Chain A
Amino acid sequence: MKVHTLARQMLMALWVVAMPVGTASADLDEIKQRGELRHLGIPYANFVTGAGDGLDVELVRGFAEHIGVRYELVYSDFYNVIRDLLGQDVERRDGEVKLVGQYPVRGDMIATGFTVLPWRQAVLLYSTPTFPSQVLLVAPAQSATQPIPGSSDLNRDIHQTKGLIGDQSLLVMERTCLDPANYGLKDQGINLRSYTRSTNINEMAPTLLSGEADLTLLDVPDVILDLQKWAGKIKVIGPISSHQDLAAAFPKDSPRLREAYNEYLEMLKASGEYRRLVDKYYPGIDSWFPEFFVSK
């Protein structure tokens, strides 16, 4: 596993180095003129598997084909993906979000199970949500912490779940959807253990099981897969967050590109292709967010 992770990181570094430097982000026309759509993806769950497929990979590939350009997947990570899109890094301080620095633009859009977060929305344009999500608290199966029964009151469930953390260590991944700051877990005296070896959320569950923490935050897409992969070894305690949306992100100056993508998504949903892809990569997601897929 570690070797695989290392290889993936090396591959991502290779891609980063190989990418032409200094190409500015472009809107639809420029992309069409250029004839290429660069998709920034981060190997994450089944959105971007790292094997060249994934829900977002197929969505964006289809979009590139839809707009008649060549598709190119550019690997990135959660720390640098915004910088790779905007050419500037994001700096969050005291609730403020600033773009700093000058960096090469490596992609035209982000589609990688990218959670729609307020601080991201400050610097990015999001597409129509492509997937629902939620952050959950996950514990090892043998953990004394028992799952909450769940209710129709999400907030209560969230509260109940947070209460079960106690003084247990909590594995988190900052600057991602598992950033504890997103969910009021930071600076709360919770024994946070930040996973910094990579930005691959897939590694949270095995890290938890290796005993590096008592609990972990995990998003629903990962939980769906991990509950299968680590069935009997991990258990969902309860929700940490309310429902979240995952969507594709575009630079603020690429509205037409976003608009085109949204149209494309509608088209897929109408044809059922979207559902097929969702079922392909995330079977059982309906049980988590039935309303999302019912309305979609």
Chain B
Amino acid sequence: MLSGLRRRIEGYPATVVAGAFALYALIITLHSLYAWRQMVEDAERYLVEDVDRSVIELANLVARFEADNGMHADIYEIQAFLQNRDLGMSMRYGLGASLQAIERRFESHLEEHASDQRILYYASDGGMLVDTAPDSPVPEGVVDRIGKVSAGVWLDVSRKQVVAIRSVRYKNASGGVVVSIDSLEHILKPMMLADAKPWRELVLDATTRHWLIPDEPSGMQGMLRAIESLEQGAVAVTDGVLASWLDREQAVVVRRGVSDLGLQLVKVMPAELVYGHIPALDVLLAAAALPLVMVWGAHRLDRIRLSAERLKTEVALSNQRRQLVEQRNEELSQEIERREQVEQALTTSEERWSLAISGANDGIWDWRPLTGETFFSERWKKLLGYQDDEIAADFEERDRRIHPDDWVMVMRRMQKHLDGATRFYQCEYRMRQKDGDYIWVLERGQALHDEQGNTLRVTGSMTDISERRRAEALLEERNVQLNTIFEISPDGMVSFGHGHRVEYVNPAFLRMTHLELSDVRGLGESEFDALMNELCADGQRFRGIAAMHDHPLPGKQRETLGLKGAGERILAVQLVVSKSETISRILFFRDITVESEVDRMKSEFVSTAAHELRTPLASIYGYAELLVAESQVESRPRLFAETIFREAALVASIIDELLDLARIESRRGADFVFKRQALGQLVATAVAAYPVPEGRAAPILKSAGQPCWVRADASKLRQCLNNILSNAYKYSPAGGAIEVELTFGQGDCGVSVRDRGIGMSSEQLDRVFERFYRADSAGTIPGTGLGMSIVKEIIDLHGGRVTVESRMGEGTAVLLRLPMIDADVSTQDLVAVPLLSVHH
């Protein structure tokens, strides 16, 4: 109500102000009316009071006159006179002077007050002693009162005089009386006004109605009657003779009696003098009306102002509207164009958004915590395998599908964001799908808060990140694998960051160089170069990374580096410039020591093979040449042919064994036919089939005592036995038995071939399996030097072992061991071989 009132008031400020003023003025007017009445009453009261004051003043003047007379009676000079009189002084000598002094005192008083007063001093016997006006008659009653009254004052109406009498007190007796006589007019002079004043006061004798002061004006008949008609003390407004006396239309008259004197004081004042200060009632009423006029005027003014403002506003509004319309038309056109663009953009955006969401696999959610209102997009539901109508619009639907292990974390993240600790909400967790499986989702959102910090809504998206998670897992696994590979790689790797300092060194490098990680990490390229050079073997030098980058070796040449120290190594160094953001270069170090050795061995083998082949070929070529040269063939043609045949056979044997060895090495047993073999039987067959050299006894086969099954390629195994038996016979040229024995070990069984030959030294024994190595350094014992190499290859491919024990001059024992297999291996693979007799 107050606001409505206030609105109403706001439009009429002048009216409000004028109304307030009018109200105020009305109050003032009422007050003024009351005050007017009061003023009239006050004026009349003041008038009456004034008259009363005049009466009092009149009485006071008379009283003062009487008091003065009393004062005269108390003068010192009278006392001195009386004392002097009592002392008996005569008038001639002293007393007369005292009287003179009294008279002088009286006269001084009269002179001082410029008074026409008369002062008399009578002796107590009535004898006149002092008279300031001895020529004037004494008023009546004076002498009569001597000795009868102590004090008093009366009016001598006939003479218009006031007479005061006062006894002189002298020694508790009367010392005479002092009488003062003065005209009433003179006494009342201080209060009586001259004719020049606008009002008049007159004093009448109440008893005789004698006009005392002033003199009765002539021509004012009936004035006394008019006065007498007035109520004592009342204020009367008259327009009669009294007003005429003042030459006014109206006069205000008040009549009051002066007690004790029998006087009446009448004050006649012009009405305007009494009421002149009081606004006329009609003026007040007019003044009262003025505020109302003001209110009306203010209201009108407000109305006009409001109208003007309204008109102005309307005009302004109209102009504004017109401008607005024009502007809006323009804006509309622009808006339309913009909207079309926006719509197009929106459409595109929506399409893009839909595509994006679809493409991004995102569901949208919107939650208003205060009201619980929740929105899940269709996509959101679909991500969880639900139809759109299968999930209610309740955020609980989401909460209850969170994986129990992720629930606490999800709630904390959300709460943290709602509390304002994070700018965005993001959380990856598992959500249960309709089918009960869990998918990984990335939930993102942002909350909107009000000024008090309350959360109004949280809106976000949910993305199925299961694939990503899997990819991350795979990537992690791959990283682990790569790290493992990197860690376990036999090749050394040193990576330099973009600061060209060592960032990473793998264990292989450290092994190769026998360095510690702290020795290498953080080194600059030049420092690394210096370190490597310190490791280089004599005559070796690391060119440096910069040289490798700037001046790479031509063709297929490799940077190699020979390191000194325990276990000399040869490293192949390769520099790879990385395109990674974190790695500038990578140095790869490959230990090619073995490779180099192999190459060296290959070279040596080729050299040896060539040398071995060259020798028989030289004989073949030589004898063949001799055959060609007819002069030599006729004498010994058979010798030459036998030699050629023998050497050719040797070449063929060498070539066969080389080919065999190469095949074995290349195929790595892929062409072997592994079957379940009874070792004993196989050995017996091979021993039985071995072509014993002429003049030598057959190998002695000792029984194993129990069957032994192995998985073996029978032909290869026989080849091994043949090679071993061949060596046994060749390296026991003095003869001796060759013993073949089956043996049993822990999980394996084997066969040993022992001879009593020339044996080998430990140095020869160490090289027994080297290709083309023959223990016969003289070269008298035929052979290719490949036999034991082949045996070892074959046995290695069988998963077995071959060991050689030998002593110089005592013979050699070669032991082949092969893993046993179970007896319940498929019989299809078995070859039944009767147990042979065994020579013990």
Interface residues, chain A, CB within 8 Å of chain B?
136, 141, 146-151, 157, 223-224, 227-228, 231-232, 235-239, 279, 283-288
- Is there contact, CB below 8 Å, between B93 and A228? no
Minimum CB–CB distance from A50 to chain B (whole Å) comes to 22
- Is there contact, CB below 8 Å, between A147 and B100? no
Pick the residue among B88, B103, B104 that contacts A235 (CB under 8 A). Answer: B88
Interface residues, chain B, CB within 8 Å of chain A?
76-77, 79-80, 83-84, 86-94, 96-101, 103-105, 108
Minimum CB–CB distance from B420 to chain A (whole Å) comes to 107
Q: How far is the CA of A232 from the CA of B105 in the complex (A)?
A: 19
Which residue of chain B lies nearest to A140 when distances are taken between CB atoms in the complex? B87
Minimum CB–CB distance from A57 to chain B (whole Å) comes to 20
Given contacts A149-B90, A238-B93, A279-B104, whether A232 and B99 have CB atoms under 8 Å apart is no
Minimum CB–CB distance from A188 to chain B (whole Å) comes to 21
Given contacts A235-B87, A236-B89, whether A228 and B96 have CB atoms under 8 Å apart is no
- Is there contact, CB below 8 Å, between A227 and B99? no
Question: Which 9 interchain pairs have the tightest Cβ spacing?
Answer: A284-B100, A287-B96, A231-B80, A283-B104, A232-B83, A150-B92, A150-B90, A236-B94, A235-B87
- Is there contact, CB below 8 Å, between B87 and A141? yes
- Is there contact, CB below 8 Å, between A232 and B94? no
- Is there contact, CB below 8 Å, between B94 and A235? yes
Q: How far is the CA of A157 from the CA of B87 in the complex (A)?
A: 17
- Is there contact, CB below 8 Å, between A147 and B98? no
Given contacts A148-B90, A150-B92, A287-B91, whether A231 and B84 have CB atoms under 8 Å apart is yes
Collect the chain B residues with CB atoms within 8 Å of residue A157's CB: 92-93
Determine which residue in B89, B100, B103, B104 has the highest number of CB atoms from chain A within 10 A of its CB, and name it. B89
Which residue of chain A lies nearest to B83 when distances are taken between CB atoms in the complex? A232
Collect the chain B residues with CB atoms within 8 Å of residue A149's CB: 90
Collect the chain A residues with CB atoms within 8 Å of residue B89's CB: 147, 235-236
Collect the chain A residues with CB atoms within 8 Å of residue B84's CB: 227, 231-232, 235-236
A sample of 19 more A-B contacts (CB under 8 A), given A147-B87, A231-B84, A235-B87, is: A141-B87, A147-B94, A150-B92, A223-B97, A224-B97, A224-B101, A227-B84, A227-B94, A227-B98, A227-B101, A228-B101, A232-B83, A235-B84, A235-B88, A235-B94, A239-B93, A284-B103, A285-B100, A287-B99
Collect the chain B residues with CB atoms within 8 Å of residue A227's CB: 80, 84, 94, 97-98, 101
- Is there contact, CB below 8 Å, between B97 and A284? yes
Q: How far is the CA of A227 from the CA of B84 in the complex (A)?
A: 8
A-B contact pairs, 22 of them (CB 8 A): A141-B83, A141-B87, A147-B89, A149-B90, A150-B93, A157-B92, A227-B80, A231-B80, A232-B79, A235-B87, A235-B94, A236-B84, A236-B90, A238-B90, A239-B93, A283-B100, A283-B101, A283-B105, A284-B97, A284-B100, A287-B99, A288-B97
Q: How far is the CA of A128 from the CA of B693 in the complex (A)?
A: 224
Q: How far is the CA of A136 from the CA of B105 in the complex (A)?
A: 24
Q: How far is the CA of A236 from the CA of B86 in the complex (A)?
A: 12
- Is there contact, CB below 8 Å, between A136 and B93? yes
Pick the residue among A148, A231, A239, A284 that contacts B104 (CB under 8 A). Answer: A284
Q: Is the interface of B mostly helix, strand, loop or mixed?
A: helix
Q: How far is the CA of A223 from the CA of B91 in the complex (A)?
A: 14
Given contacts A279-B104, A285-B100, A287-B99, whether A232 and B93 have CB atoms under 8 Å apart is no
Collect the chain B residues with CB atoms within 8 Å of residue A236's CB: 84, 89-90, 93-94
Given contacts A231-B79, A231-B83, A231-B84, whether A288 and B90 have CB atoms under 8 Å apart is no
Q: How far is the CA of A231 from the CA of B85 in the complex (A)?
A: 10
Q: How far is the CA of A148 from the CA of B93 in the complex (A)?
A: 8
Given contacts A223-B94, A284-B101, whether A232 and B80 have CB atoms under 8 Å apart is yes
Q: How far is the CA of A117 from the CA of B451 in the complex (A)?
A: 129
Q: How far is the CA of A150 from the CA of B88 in the complex (A)?
A: 11
Collect the chain A residues with CB atoms within 8 Å of residue B94's CB: 136, 147, 223, 227, 235-236
Q: How far is the CA of A150 from the CA of B80 in the complex (A)?
A: 19
Minimum CB–CB distance from A266 to chain B (whole Å) comes to 25
Minimum CB–CB distance from B108 to chain A (whole Å) comes to 8
Pick the residue among B76, B87, B99 that contacts A284 (CB under 8 A). Answer: B99
- Is there contact, CB below 8 Å, between A150 and B91? yes
- Is there contact, CB below 8 Å, between B76 and A228? yes
- Is there contact, CB below 8 Å, between B100 and A287? yes
Collect the chain B residues with CB atoms within 8 Å of residue A231's CB: 76, 79-80, 83-84, 98
Minimum CB–CB distance from A140 to chain B (whole Å) comes to 10
Collect the chain A residues with CB atoms within 8 Å of residue B99's CB: 284, 287
Collect the chain B residues with CB atoms within 8 Å of residue A283's CB: 100-101, 104-105, 108
Minimum CB–CB distance from A141 to chain B (whole Å) comes to 5
Collect the chain A residues with CB atoms within 8 Å of residue B76's CB: 228, 231
Minimum CB–CB distance from A148 to chain B (whole Å) comes to 7
Collect the chain B residues with CB atoms within 8 Å of residue A151's CB: 92
Collect the chain A residues with CB atoms within 8 Å of residue B86's CB: 232
- Is there contact, CB below 8 Å, between B100 and A232? no
Which residue of chain B lies nearest to A283 when distances are taken between CB atoms in the complex? B104
Collect the chain B residues with CB atoms within 8 Å of residue A284's CB: 96-101, 103-104
- Is there contact, CB below 8 Å, between B80 and A287? no
Determine which residue in B79, B98, B99, B101 has the highest number of CB atoms from chain A within 10 A of its CB, and name it. B101
Minimum CB–CB distance from A134 to chain B (whole Å) comes to 9
Q: How far is the CA of A128 from the CA of B79 in the complex (A)?
A: 36
Which residue of chain A lies nearest to B77 when distances are taken between CB atoms in the complex? A228
Minimum CB–CB distance from B795 to chain A (whole Å) comes to 174
Pick the residue among A148, A223, A228 that contacts B80 (CB under 8 A). Answer: A228
Determine which residue in B79, B87, B88, B91 has the highest number of CB atoms from chain A within 10 A of its CB, and name it. B87
